[in-house]
Structure formats: C-alpha cells, structure tokens
Structure 1
Amino acid sequence: MHKPNVTVAMVVKCAERYLLVEERDKSTGQRVLNQPAGHLEANESLIAAAQRELLEETGLNLAPQGLVGIYSLQARNGTHYLRFCFFAELDEASETAPQDSDIIACHWLNIAQIKEQPLRSSIVLTCIDDAQNRPILPLEYLRHRQD
C-alpha cells in the first residue's frame, strides 16, 4: 500500500514580503529556500504541526490563520509528499531565531527576490501564488480526532 509523506508548511506574509528559510537540499547540498515546513508527527494535528515547524525553523510562535491548500507532490527524489500549506499574516516583520540546526537563515523577501533564488521545489512559489490569488480556507475545514 502506498503511503505519501504528510508535510505541513506555512506561508507567512508581512506587507508584500514572505518569510522563507534557507536550508541545504539533502540530495544536492545546494542552499535553497523553502517555506517553514516539516513532517507531521505521531498524534499531532496538522495545525499543531504547522505551528511547531514554524517555531522550530524561525523562532516565531504564530498560529495559522487559514489553509492555503493541499498539494500532492512527486519530488525529484522519488518521494511522494502530501503537503498541507497554511497561512499567517503579520502587521510587522518579526525578528527570527531558528532553533533547528538545519536552518541556515531566515529571509523576508518580496516575490521578485524569491523568483531569483534557488527554491527547494516549485511548490514554494505555487503556495505563495495560491495565497495571493485564491481564498484562504477557514481552519474549521480541518478536524483532528483521536478515538
């Protein structure tokens, strides 16, 4: 039975800039940019996972304000990811302090700057584009239950 890897990500916007994390691509070693993102852990809700990953990778403790979308991605490494991308908007850019040793730096960038950078995946721009041009879905559409 096929089981995709479940990941969460956060598009964080302030004015016309977006928060991205700089990390090394594990297969190429190249420095790339990505949304704060990571894997869902056991017994964790999608919303809690997104908030935890944002805190670990940027030092920001923000709750998601909505859902950008759900994405199925067949990565170059052959892995199938199911990505739940969330949205948060700030009035003022906050200082970042990554706690995850895999994060080299955090950057607040506008769209033109992002397009000039090496990205972890094309899904980085897709999520930002969707956050700009599609309705952000209420978090009530997601339910977490433990039976």
Structure 2
Amino acid sequence: MITPELTVAALVERNGRFLMVEEVVREQTVLNQPAGHMEYGETAIDAVVRETREETAWSFTPTAVVGAYLWRIPSATRHVMRILFTGDVADHDSDSELDDGIIATHWMDYQALQAAEDRLRTPLVLHGLDDYLAGRRLPLDTVRCFDYTGAPR
C-alpha cells in the first residue's frame, strides 16, 4: 500500500509574475513554488505559511485554495498529494536565512515558466498555474482540520 505524502504550496502573483524558488533537489537545480511537507500537528494553512516564510523570507497570507493534486510517480513508487493555496505576501525579511537547498527566489512570468518546463520540480507547478489563470478559487475552509478525541461521527 502506498500512503501519499501530503504537501502544500503557495502561488503568489504580482504584476503578472509568480513567486518561485530556485532550489537544489537530488543534485539538480529546479524551480518550484514555495512548498513543503506538513509537520505533525499543523493545519495545511499553518504549513503553507511556514514553508513560504522559510523558503522565501516573505510572510504569506492565504486567500483561497486553487486545488488539490495527486501526483502518482510510478518510477518512484510513491504518490504526492499537493494542496495549492493562493494569496499575498508582505513583510519581506531580507536578512532572513532561507531553508537549506534554496538558492534564490525569483518573480517569473508564465511564459518564462513554460520555457523552463524541464527545470520545474514537478509537473504540478504548471497544472496549478493553469488552474489559477483559469480563475479556479475555492474558499479556504475547503481544507478543514479536525482533532477528534472520541469516536468519529
């Protein structure tokens, strides 16, 4: 049985450009939206705010969910479930040290990202951008967290 890895990502647009991170993954330099795994006890919103700050030094305020994407990776016998949030950033801390593996942050337009498709960390980056550009937005409470201590209802 394969248990999907649960990840979150932030899609931030400013003036037609998208906030991206350039990072080293398995000895390759790739482009990705600020993203990462949820930690135990976090909500998805907590995780995306934390990951964006750690990877970009920006404070991220989610405003909507763009979608949830399951990427089945047969060659790696693993699955990744990614929840993509959109929102705004503010309060950039230029003195903040970025997460290990992050080389730089960039603001890139869609055409540049399409041209760099072979450098994108996953195919989910463009799928999410396409959904965002098509206007897909779901309320934040689409992704809910429950801490049940008793029997399920």
Deviates more, 1:6-15 or 1:114-123: 114-123
1:123 corresponds to 2:124: yes
Task: Compute the TM-score of the two structures, normalised by the length of structure 1.
Answer: 0.89
1:134 is displaced (CA, Å) by 3.3
Larger radius of gyration: 2
Greater CA drift, 118-127 or 94-103: 94-103
Task: Trace 1:103-122 onto structure 2 (pairs within 5 A).
Answer: 103-117=102-116, 118-122=119-123
CA distance in 2, matches of 1:72, 1:122: 11
Aligned-pair Cα RMSD in Å: 1.8
The answer to which of 51-60 and 69-78 deviates more is: 69-78
TM-score of the pair, normalised by structure 2: 0.85
Give, in whole Å, the separation in 2 of the partners of 1:31 and 1:95: 24
Deviations 1:118-140 (A, max 9, x none): 11111111111111103211102
Higher strand share: 2
Are 1:98 and 1:105, in contact at CA under 8 Å, matched by a contact in 2?
no
Runs (4+) of structure 1 exceeding 3 A deviation are 75-78, 94-98
User: Which of 15, 38, 41 is the aligned partner of 1:40?
Assistant: 38
What does 1:1-147 correspond to in 2, within 5 Å? 1-26=1-26, 29-75=27-73, 77-89=76-88, 99-117=98-116, 118-147=119-148
Letter in 1 for 2:22: E
Aligned length: 143
**Unaligned residue ranges in structure 2 (runs of 5+):** 149-153
5+ residue gaps in structure 1?
A: none
Distance in 2, matches of 1:128 and 1:56, equals: 22
CA distance in 1 between partners of 2:82 and 2:62 (Å): 15
- Identical amino acids, percent of aligned pairs: 36
* Mapped partners of 1:105, 1:79: distance in 2: 28
